[in-house]
Amino acid sequence: MRKDIILSSRKIRFLMIKNNLVSKYTKLKYRNHKTMVNNDQISNVLSRQFNNKKPNEVVVSDLTYVQVGGKWHYICLLIDLFNRKIIGYSARPNKTAELVQQAFHKKTRPLNKITLFHTDRGNDFKNKIIKKVGR
């Protein structure tokens, strides 16, 4: 058997299919978590007006996930719509209220200067920890 043979992943896939081979390794997939819908009746004050004239006029936030070291991690970003700059962030392996709280602790601007804070109203933003941050 020859060593140090360089093959493309396409060639390896062809050879595996030809020889009925299946890898015991699988790609890491994101697992969807059951979420509850936030049905609070809150008016949409932002109403898709994303061009703001002053800093801190509107800060938006959302959670997303990224793969880090082969594992899924969540990231929470606070973005000022004035210049689209990230003013706070946090990343953790679990999606918790503490993830959002840490993003506020790392903010670069005082909270009392923000005119409007907008999220998708997910349950991660609707809890006692986040209410304490806003005070």
State pLDDT tens for residues 78-126.
888 888 889 889 998 888 878 888 888 877 777 777 777 777 656 555 5
Domain assignment present for 36: no
What does the pLDDT read at residue 34?
A: 62
Domain assignment present for 71: yes
- Quickly state the pLDDT bin for 130 (edges 50, 70, 90): low
Find the CATH number of the domain harbouring 107. Answer: 3.30.420
Domain assignment present for 13: no
Residue 12: CB atoms within 10 Å: 12
- DSSP notation for 7-51: --HHHHHHHHHHTT---S-----PPPPP----------SSTT---
**pLDDT above 80 (res 67):** yes
Domain assignment present for 32: no
Residue range(s) defining the domain that contains residue 75: 58-127
Number of domains present in the structure of the chain: 1
Largest CA distance in the chain: 69
The predicted-structure confidence for 11-66, as pLDDT tens digits, reads as follows 888 998 999 887 776 666 666 666 555 555 667 677 677 777 788 788 888 888 88
3-class SS of residue 122: coil
